[in-house]
Amino acid sequence: MFCAGVATFAQLYAPQAVLPAISAGLSVPPAQAALLVSAATGGLAMSVLWWSWLADRWGRVRTMLLAIIVATLAGAAFTFVASFPVMVALRFVEGAGLGGVAGVAVAYITEETHAASMAAATGLYISGTSLGGLSGRLLSGPLTDLTGSWRVGVGSVIALSAVAGVLFAVLVPPPRRFTPRRTSLVQVSRLALAHLRNPGMRTVFVQAFCLMGAFVTIYNYLGFRLERPPFALSPTVTSLLFLSYLAGTWSSSRATRSAVRFGRRTVLLGAGTLMLTGLALTWVVDVAVIIVGLVVLTAGFFAGHAIASALAGIMAEEGRAQATALYNFFYYAGSSVLGWVGGYLFSAGGWTAVSMFCAIVVAVAMLVAWSGLRPSVARTP
């Protein structure tokens, strides 16, 4: 499952680290370049419910293998085509394929792993997603800088994902406890609508949309800012900013422990406050201060995501698979929509416009959390 996580998330965000190079190479504005990230996350968001339905009928392992094959083929084709609309379409297909792993992996672990080993197995998968997302960004930036071609940088990440996919196919244990479920799309839709009618679930979905949307927007366009005067940093240096993700490894585990003591609403509000503090630090025209701000913002985001994603499963009295799929839908929809809108704001008002937009989005999430969740440590808000 570690390999599945790497295969999925290495290629999902590989272009993000080289968006300025893509923008320059294809002669497109930042908002258009960012569509290559938004299309993939949009495809993932729109596919997770369908993949969860297919996995119930066809099997978890076969579904994940099909998803990795589809995504890797689309990702490889993306690095060779010249037409920008075709590139966007291929990234959408790639993201839709990756939804088959993101939407099914935890269900497979839950079914096939002994209760005593479940936390460790889930942690191994999450580690793969984290390392995959980080390695994809760190690999594409320096290789683009070294070769002068973003296609080589992104293509190398696709190759890494293909190797991880092959290792997953070879190493994954055959399913032993899977029982096909003839769940109809009507039943899936009914459960999804029930979650959308639940005010508490809607509060959680707002957190997913807003926090992820603001977070991805910052990372989409900070590279454009830092590769221009007065900073004029290289793609290699800007790609190293993604090492800030390591702060999320610490903050996500810390947040879950803090929620037991202080309550989930309090921790969510604290996470939003950290994000706003980090955003404010990025306004300073000093690379060191900006890096500190990015670390603080990243820690805040992953803390909020850890709490909100847990709430999605806890609050669902039935249809937990659909609740998780809906959380993923809003999570990646926020990345897709807000990450794209931020490009137009960057072109119109620079970093000030982007950071103010993200601050408003985070503030909305905090207001909704404050009004929609009870201030308790109980398992239900």
Report the range of poorest mean pLDDT among 12-21, 53-62, 215-224, 277-286. 53-62
Q: Which residue has the tokens 């609508």?
A: 193
The answer to whether residue 379 scores a pLDDT higher than 60 is no
Share of the chain above pLDDT 90, in %: 57
* Tokens 């080993």, located at residue: 117
Quick check: 114 pLDDT over 80? no
* pLDDT at site 376: 55
What's the pLDDT score for residue 132?
82
pLDDT at 286: 96
Greater confidence (54 vs 291) lies with: 291
What pLDDT sits at residue 116? Answer: 61
Residue 216, pLDDT > 90, answer yes
Highest mean pLDDT among 40-44, 166-170, 176-180: 40-44
In this structure, of 72-86, 253-267, 276-290, 294-308, the range with the lowest mean pLDDT score is 253-267
Q: What is the mean pLDDT of residues 124-134?
A: 73
Is the confidence at residue 318, as pLDDT, over 90?
Answer: no
* Residue 183 pLDDT: 65
Question: What mean pLDDT comes out for the span 234-260?
Answer: 86
Instruction: HSE, CB side, 13 Å, CA atoms: give it for residue 105.
Output: 28
Q: Which pLDDT belongs to residue 245? A: 86
Between CA 48 and CA 164 the distance in angstroms is: 21
Q: Tell me, what's the pLDDT at 176?
A: 76
Structure tokens at 80: 């060779």
For 73-88, write each residue's pLDDT tens digit: 999 999 999 999 999 9
pLDDT given for residue 146 in this prediction? 92
Pseudo-torsion of CA 35, 225, 236, 77, nearest 10°? Answer: 10
The pLDDT value given to residue 369 = 96
DSSP secondary structure string, 60-98? HHHHHHHHHHHHHHHHHHHTT---HHHHHHHHHHHHHHH
* Token pair of 251 as six digits: 């903050």
| Model confidence at 178: pLDDT above 70 | no
Is residue 318 within 8 A of residue 1, CB to CB? The reply is no
Q: Are 20 and 223 in contact (CB under 8 A)?
A: yes
Q: Does residue 126 have a pLDDT over 70? A: no
pLDDT at residue 179, as a whole number:
65
Average pLDDT, stretch 331-340? 94
Tell me what the pLDDT averaged over the chain comes to.
88
Mean pLDDT on 113-117: 65
**Higher-confidence position of 187 and 306:** 306
Give the pLDDT confidence of 16-56 residue by residue, as tens digits: 999 999 999 999 999 999 999 999 999 999 998 888 788 87
HSE, CB side, 13 Å, CA atoms: give it for residue 373. 33
In the DSSP assignment, the letter for residue 229 is: T
Q: Span 295-319, mean pLDDT?
A: 85
Residues 256-274 pLDDT 10s: 788 888 888 999 999 999 9
Interatomic CA distance for residues 232 and 133, integer angstroms: 25
Segment 86-104, tens digit of pLDDT: 999 999 999 999 998 887 7
The answer to whether 122 and 106 are in contact (CB under 8 A) is yes
Q: Which pLDDT score, from 0 to 100, does residue 195 have?
A: 82
pLDDT score of 253 more than 80: no
Domains and CATH numbers, the chain: 1-180 (1.20.1250.20), 184-381 (1.20.1250.20)
Helix, strand and coil content of the chain, in percent to the nearest 5, comes to 85, 0, 15
User: In residues, how long is the chain?
Assistant: 381
Per-residue buried b or exposed e for 336-358, using 16+ beta carbons within 10 Å of the residue's own CB: bbbbbbbbbbbbeeebebbbebb
Higher pLDDT among residues 352 and 176, named by residue: 352
